[in-house]
Structures are given as structure tokens and as C-alpha cells.
Structure 1
Amino acid sequence: MQFEIAYKWVFWLAALPIVVFLILPPLHKKRSGLIAPFFRRAAAVSNQHVKRRAWVSRKNILTWIALCLCWLCLLAAASSPRYVGKPAKKTKTVRSFLIATDISFSMATTDWVVGGRRYSRWGAIKSIMKGFVKDRKSDQVGLVMFGTNAYLQSPFTTDLETVSWLMDQTEVGMAGQMTSIGSAIAYGIKVFKQDTIKQKVMLLLTDGIDGGQDILPLDAAQAAKRDSITIYTIGIGQAKGSGGYDLDEKTLKDIARTTGGQYFNAMNTGQLRKIYATLDKLQPVVYDEDTYRPVVLLYYYPLAAAVLLALAAPLINGIINLFRRSS
């Protein structure tokens, strides 16, 4: 932090009281006098002409010093003294990133092995996804969980730690046992419409086939395209008919292709990490920065001194006059 004065030109006004003193005439004050019954006779005997007079109050040197210091303190406050730190950059949010995750019953299947231990699909995905969310530093991230129905787990926020915490609180089956991909995309579109940022990206993860009855996935994808939403889809497990898993890769590929995104398949945590790394390249974290300098204002110190001096000036003048009269 370094000290600086924002408006140095203010001190050119330091000589203004002197200019006013030289240009303007002094202020004449009238005061009442007591005229004795013999006043006229005394004036006539002494041959003095009686006139009406005014007097100009004289201030002592200490009062003048106090008033001058008060004026200089006011100028110092008006010049805005401050401590200024080094220029820093602040990251602005430039994109909305919505994660729509399948938490139907099939995500509880414990067929993923991490470090020699078996985990459910959702448990393994959740642990890796938190790292992905943590790296989206300039994005505002939202969470939509879906099964039979879709619901909002976290609105768009830049508080990525809270998003990770809410992800931890999500359990399989909370949204129902079926997989409604179309409803999830439609709900995501609704969430995006409440947001003002133009860059919109959705990440859709599922291990099943659409079983919803309301909205077809491709119809929802067309609606997302009209709203300029890019959807990246991740299929968890093997495709339908290649090992007993029920994953509709064709629909997920069509959704991604329709919206200008890309489809990925993840069979294990290693592949999922590679997918997230690829997503980081396809949708890199964009930093839109504002340069700012931390400022600590100090004007109230000279302003407080000016107030104290303004209160002290008449007090000093009164004390000196009191001593003069007593002496």
C-alpha cells in the first residue's frame, strides 16, 4: 500500500482566504453604548463632536493560526488522501455451466473400481465431478438432478464449494427410479431462461435410456438449440446390447450433434477423467478480468481535525479575552 493524494489541485485554494481578506472590506459591527445624562454637556465642554461609530473585531494570533490550520485541514480532506494497493485483477463470470445428472436407481450399480475398491456409479462420478466443478473458476455452475422427474439442486452460482457440498448431499433415487432425459433437458432450458449470461453450456450424464412419457429427448434438444444452449452428453457404461447395459448411445449422440456439442462414453473413472480434460479443452475456462486497485480512504482524519480546530478557535479567543480583562 502506498500513500497518494487524488486531487492535488485542491491545495491551490490554500491562498484563497488571503485573497478574500485583501479584497473584501472588514466587517463592521455595531454595539450599544450607555449615554449618561451629562454626556451631551461633557461633550460640549470638551469641544468634541459626537458621532455614531462601528468597531472591527481583532483576533489574536493563536485564533488566526487555528483558523488557518482549519482551512488547510479542510483542503486536505477535499484532496481525498488515500492508501492505494497494487493493481489487481478480478475475474468476471462469463458463462453459465449447468450439470444435469442422472440419479435413477441404476446409478447405484457398484461396477466401478477405484483404488481396488468397488464403488457405485454415482459415488465414483460424484468424487471426480467435484474436481471438475472446482476448476470452473470463471463459470457460474448449476446442478439439475433427474430420474423420473427433474429438480434443481443448485441454482447458478459462483460459490463452487457450495455446489460440491450440495452434490455430496444428493443420493440415488431421490428423483425417482426411471430416467427422463427429455424432461431433464427441458428443465435445464427453464433454468437457463432465468439467467442473463449469454454463453450457455449443459453437461448431461446418464447411464440409461429415456423412459419419460412427456417430452422426447430430441424435441428437447431442438428447443435447447433455439435457445443457443450447447449440450455435451456423457454415457455411463456400455451401450445397449453390448453386455447387458441399458444405455442409449444413439440418442445421446443425436442430442449432442443437434446442439453443437459432443458425446463421450465412460466405462471407468480413468475414462471419465479424460472426458473432463477434453471438456476443459472444448470449453476452456475463459477469464474476463476487471483491473482494480484496493483503496483505503483517509479523508476523515483531516476532516475531524478541521472540526476540532473550528471548535477550538472561539474557545481560544474567549480565554485570551478573559485574561486581558482580568489583567
Structure 2
Amino acid sequence: MPANFEIAYLWVFLLLPLPFVVYWILPSLRIRSASLRLPTYEKALGYTGEKPRKSAFVRRRGAFTWIVLMLVWVLVLGALSSPQLVGEPEMKVKTSRNFLIAADISFSMAERDWGIDGEKVRRWDAVKALMHDFIQKREGDRMGLIFFGSSAYIQAPFTPDLQTVNQLLEEADVGMAGQMTHIGKAITKGVELFDKDTIETKVMLLLTDGVDAGTEILPLDAADLAKNDSILIYTIGIGDPSGVGVDLDEQTLQEIAEMTGGQYFQAKDEQRLQEIYAEVDKLEPIEYEEEENRPTTLLYYYPLGAALGLLLLLMFFQSLFQLIRNSRDGRKEASYG
């Protein structure tokens, strides 16, 4: 992720002329030191007629010292200004919808007319295998599971824990909800589950391979309840209606989808079902939002370290020059002696 260089407190550099202001305003620092009294001092005053005056010796710094000190000051201000590398805001998955899967597990889903890796398997095993992948990709959605047959029951209430949803899906099997297909009951149970939650966006994915056999509530009446509750229903018909052993009411599934603003898909085989899941992913994409905090790397220690390094270097050279000067003065005194 690219990062931009930024200075948090640019106004700090307004303090750049502060050392010069202090130098001009404040007087020189006076330090008392021992002086040498000449025995002929009074005689010299009498010969010259001068009056004794107080005086001070102003030690002047060389150009090298001034340059180093100014660099140190600039670097200190650079550290105080808090330079930093600021990255782009990170994106996180936004929890924006409740997504309910209502799957038919009546006895007809045990028909072995679907193929996986060249072998005939039960319709439910093929559907379940692809449904695992679909659920795993729905990061950010709160997923729920309803299984239906003669009755409809909640296998998983809405939760962001997709791993748990997948585990509960794996534990379900054909016949656990009875042998018949009651689509109306499944939709009604879904409406009840949505009513208990507060998230406004509600999506249901209804999978079945049969014809509704219920008399208590008709599928279209249940779909009307879902429509009034703003629930979008995508319906998937499992199997080929023209094939042997397939009793699929496509017209009802189409009407359910149209009433609620969804879409009907017909899955003849495993490959087509996988394509349908991909289409649903596009119709109901995962939403993202920016993190409030952007990743920031502070860089103040670089100019601060450079300032300390320059000060140590200056002290080293000053000590070295002082040693050289003392050594030279010592040699001169020795030669005079």
C-alpha cells in the first residue's frame, strides 16, 4: 500500500529564526574567571595616562560551530514537527445485510443424479458442497440457515461466524425435516427470523427441487408477506424439469422471485449451480468501508538522532581542537623557558 510523506505540525518551522532573536535580544553571558596581575600594571597606567576599565572577553565561535548548531536546530524542529508516512485508509468489510439460505432437504434431494468428479452423488451432497464455498465467501454478511421439508426449522440464526454456519450446514441431512416439500412454511419461517433482527437489508436464497405440497400457507402468500417486509428472494430450482425423477415447479419459483424483486435460476448440474452462486455474489456484492484510522509510521527519531549525532560530533572536534591547542601552547612555553 503506497504511503504519503506528511508533516503533522508544519507551523513548528516558524521557530527557525528564534536563535537569532535570542542572540540579538539577550546580552552575552558573563562568566568570572581568574586574571593575571602584572607587577608593572600601575606603572603602565602612569606612563600612558589611561584609566583602568572593566572589560570582558567575548569568546567567538567559528563558522563551523555556527553551521553545526544551526543544522542541529533545524533537525530538532524537524523532529518536533512530527514527520510521518501516512498510508491510505484500510478497507474493512461492512456488515450490511442479513443473508438467509433456505434449503430443501426433503426425500427427493436424496436422488443420485448429480455428478462430482465423475461419480453420481445425491443432489443434497452436491448442493451442500458448493454451498460451503458460497457461505465462506460471504464475509461481512450475517448468515442464517433454514432447512425445510414437511416442516421448516432454523438451523442457524443470523451470525457473522461463517465457520459455525458451515459446521451447522454439514450436520444437516436429507429427511431431517420430513419427506414432503413445504415452500410456504420455509418462506414464513424466514420472515419470522428477519423480523427478530434490526438490519434493514434482507436477502433470502431459496433452493428446492420439488413442488410445494403444503395447504397451510401457499408459497405465493408467503412471498407476499416477504415482499411487505422488504425481503429479497432469489430462488434456485434444483434439477432438470425435463429429466426423470424431477418434479420442479419453476413457475411458482419464478413468481416468488418476481414478487420480491429477486431472480430465478435453474440449476441442472453442479457446474450451473456454481455459476449461479457466482451470479448471486455479483447481485449481492460484499460491501467495504474505510477504517477511521489510517496506518501511520512516525519518523521523528530520524532527525532527532541526526541532531544528537551532530552535537556529539561537534563536542568531539571541539575537544580535539582544545587538546591540540593546549599541546601547542605547552610546546611554546617550553621553548620560551
Same fold (TM over 0.5): yes
2:195 is matched with 193
1:137 is matched with 139
Q: Are positions 1:128 and 2:130 aligned together?
A: yes
C-alpha distance in 1, partners of 2:286/2:212?
Answer: 31
1:110 is matched with 112
Instruction: Check 1:243–1:109 CA distance in 2 against 1; reply closer, same or farther (3 A cut).
Output: closer
C-alpha distance in 2, partners of 1:89/1:277?
Answer: 22
State the identity %.
Answer: 56
C-alpha distance in 2, partners of 1:291/1:207?
Answer: 46
- 1:97 Cα offset (Å): 0.5
1:266 is matched with 267
- TM-score using structure 1 length: 0.62
C-alpha distance in 2, partners of 1:164/1:134?
Answer: 8
- 1:294 Cα offset (Å): 8.8
Report the structure number with the largest CA radius of gyration. Answer: 2
Alignment of 1:173-192 (within 5 A): 173-192=175-194
Assess if the C-alpha contact under 8 Å between 1:89 and 1:292 holds in 2.
no
- Whichever residue aligns with residue 265 of structure 1, its letter is Q
Q: Deviations over 1:1-27 (max 9, x none)?
A: xxxxxxxxxxxxxxxxxxxxxxxxxxx
1:164 is matched with 166
Alignment of 1:221-260 (within 5 A): 221-239=223-241, 243-260=244-261
C-alpha distance in 2, partners of 1:122/1:268?
Answer: 12
Assess if the C-alpha contact under 8 Å between 2:94 and 2:287 holds in 1.
no
Instruction: Check 1:194–1:292 CA distance in 2 against 1; reply closer, same or farther (3 A cut).
Output: farther
1:31 is matched with none
Q: Deviations over 1:262-292 (max 9, x none)?
A: 1111111100011011111111112234334
- Whichever residue aligns with residue 236 of structure 2, its letter is I
Assess if the C-alpha contact under 8 Å between 2:183 and 2:212 holds in 1.
yes
- 1:257 Cα offset (Å): 0.6
- 1:89 Cα offset (Å): 4.0
Q: Deviations over 1:140-186 (max 9, x none)?
A: 11000001110010011111111111110001100111100000000
CA RMSD after TM alignment:
2.8
C-alpha distance in 1, partners of 2:289/2:185?
Answer: 33
1:70 is matched with none
5+ residue gaps, structure 1, are 1-84, 296-327
- 1:99 Cα offset (Å): 0.3
1:119 is matched with 121
Q: Deviations over 1:20-52 (max 9, x none)?
A: xxxxxxxxxxxxxxxxxxxxxxxxxxxxxxxxx
After TM superposition, where is structure 1 displaced by more than 3 Å over at least 4 residues in a row? 85-90, 241-244, 292-295
- 1:134 Cα offset (Å): 0.7
Q: Deviations over 1:284-305 (max 9, x none)?
A: 112234334699xxxxxxxxxx
